[in-house]
Amino acid sequence: MRQFKTNDRQWLIISCGLFIAFGFVDTTQGMGKDAIRLSELVAMLFTGNYPLSVMAFPIAMLALMGAVPSVVFGWVLQAIIGVLRTLVNGATGQV
């Protein structure tokens, strides 16, 4: 059975990209949703209307809820890319 190496840098880049996409890019704009995004909480913190003691817990929870799936999906995507890259390089004779 062949073993594939984990590309940590690729995993980090993919995970960060997914975290930013899930937490800060509003992909459901205009769909009448009621959920609040991480970017909205951070913006509320920086406007000064709410103190850090009130905003820290919701921001931390939403960040954690976005980070865990981002890391998991990032690992899966980097694994798929690693397998495909190995298969392509193996087919062309490159190591």
Tens digits of residue pLDDT in 27-76: 666 666 666 788 888 888 888 888 888 889 989 998 998 899 999 999 99
Own/partner contacts of 25-28, CB < 8 Å, gap of 24 or more, are none
pLDDT of residue 50: 86
**Are residues 38 and 66 in contact, defined by beta-carbon separation less than 8 angstroms?**
yes
Domain ranges of the chain: 8-25+35-92
DSSP state of 57: H
pLDDT of residue 75: 95
pLDDT of residue 24: 79
Residue 68, both tokens: 């865990």
